[in-house]
Amino acid sequence: MVTQVEQAANAFPSWRSIPAPRRGEILFRFAELLKSQKEELAALITVEMGKLPLEAGGEVQEAIDMAYYMAGEGRRSFGQTVPSELPDKFAMSLREPVGVVAMITPWNFPVAVPSWKLLPALVLGNTVVWKPSPRTPQCAARLVELLTEAGLPAGVVNVVNGGSEVGEALVRAPQVRLVTFTGSNAVGRRVAVACAELGKRCALELGGKNAIIVLDDADLDLAVDGIVWSAFGTGGQRCTSCSRVIVHQAVRAKLTEMLVARVKQLQIGPLIDAAATQRCEEFVREAVAAGARRLTTGPTLLDNVTPAMRVAQEEIFGPVCVIIEVGSPEEAARVNNDVPYGLSSSIYTRDVNRAFVALRELTTGIVYVNAGTTGSEVQLPFGGTRGTGNGAREAGQAALDTFSEWKTVYVDYSGRLQRAQIDTSPA
């Protein structure tokens, strides 16, 4: 691992000196290669982590979209020019790369999640040491091969494989200036503590306990479509998966009946390993013992769930979704917000006024109206509140702030000493 960090540090001066538009052109060629290799990469995702082919193809498409988007930032990455308070003085700000970035990514999106981190880091002039999940090393290797084919110089992206001990060493490597991590809250807290001790920046994307609110005026057919896709797509192994349905009491019985009928017909892909299956079963057993009622097996629906139950508070990361009854939109918002996470939420309603109140009251980083909790697009920020992260955002323009430093520049062409805040003209 020391070698890979040194390679990234050595490559940084020359990579940052390449004009940003040229860096963007490499990412554009990478996007074209991803596009041509989409089926191959999707098949590799399916083999390594078990994602169904349709979903795997969608994941590769997200990386393609991100590559095209960030390639364009090679000719943007805007700074600011502002008036100076003094005559004959120019003031502006511009972005600078951070340096060596340590990137630690999970197994559930082995192509898309790395693209959210890797591509903005590269277009801004950073170099990267990447530790992918030990469960998906082939996806990581193939992405780096395609970057090399696109013209990325040697040493700019370096892969280290291994478990938690490798990740910890990478976080603590002296040359690393920024750590970007997606994974569990437990590990994320350790990363944050280590970075704080060492004076490093970190960007954390952690767990979620996402909810879909169904009000009494909702289109129930549409809501069922959104719930089933959000709760059980990828076997519930998404940080944005819906694991809570918060439903108005007036439509709870009907919605529950419709959901049970759909879920009983549903076939999903495998979970990542036996431990994940066991974790889901433990949550369900505990909930049933506390008074919940199991409505389906396999993909699991539970009702008679109260907001305080563990199954309604903690991230499960599997195909388990609970139904919670509420009596008003106000109560629905309170239940939605009263969890340790704040990534994604959704509301189904035909009333535009209720929708806009929800946009204000739901305290998650992402809010959907009449759609499920999944489906983010690359041109907007991705991230959450509370225990979901530390305020950093991925994707969109916000990603540029994660992977760059602001530099402020003043050019005084007056030919004399001018003292800001002192030599200003009176109003």
CATH number of the domain bearing residue 59: 3.40.605.10
Assigned domain for 382 exists: no
Could you say which of 62, 205, 315, 394 is catalytic?
A: 205
Task: Clarify whether residues 128 and 265 are in a common domain.
Answer: no
Mean pLDDT, all residues of the chain = 97
Task: Clarify whether residues 181 and 225 are in a common domain.
Answer: no
CATH number of the domain bearing residue 285: 3.40.309.10
Assigned domain for 243 exists: yes
Q: How many domains does the chain have?
A: 2
**Percentage of residues in the chain with pLDDT exceeding 90?**
98
What pLDDT digit, counting tens, does each position of 385-397 carry? 999 999 999 999 9
Q: What is the pLDDT of residue 282?
A: 97
Q: What is the pLDDT of residue 425?
A: 65
CA dihedral 301, 338, 107, 187 (to 10 degrees): -140
Task: Clarify whether residues 405 and 289 are in a common domain.
Answer: no
Task: Clarify whether residues 274 and 327 are in a common domain.
Answer: yes
Task: Clarify whether residues 196 and 224 are in a common domain.
Answer: no
Assigned domain for 380 exists: no
Could you say which of 239, 242, 280, 321 is catalytic?
A: 239
pLDDT at 427 over 60: no
Assigned domain for 379 exists: no
Assigned domain for 420 exists: no
Task: Clarify whether residues 137 and 265 are in a common domain.
Answer: no
Task: Clarify whether residues 176 and 256 are in a common domain.
Answer: no
Indicate the residue type of 401: D
For residues 117-130, average pLDDT:
98
Look up the pTM and report it: 0.95
């489906």: which residue's tokens? 375
pLDDT confidence bin for 417, thresholds 50/70/90: very high
Assigned domain for 234 exists: yes
Task: Clarify whether residues 104 and 222 are in a common domain.
Answer: no
What pLDDT digit, counting tens, does each position of 78-96 carry? 999 999 999 999 999 999 9
Task: Clarify whether residues 166 and 110 are in a common domain.
Answer: yes
Among this protein's residues, is 239 annotated catalytic? yes
What pLDDT digit, counting tens, does each position of 235-269 carry? 999 999 999 999 999 999 999 999 999 999 999 98
Task: Clarify whether residues 333 and 310 are in a common domain.
Answer: yes
Assigned domain for 426 exists: no
Q: Which domain holds residue 280?
A: 210-369
Task: Clarify whether residues 220 and 297 are in a common domain.
Answer: yes
Task: Clarify whether residues 130 and 201 are in a common domain.
Answer: yes
Assigned domain for 415 exists: no
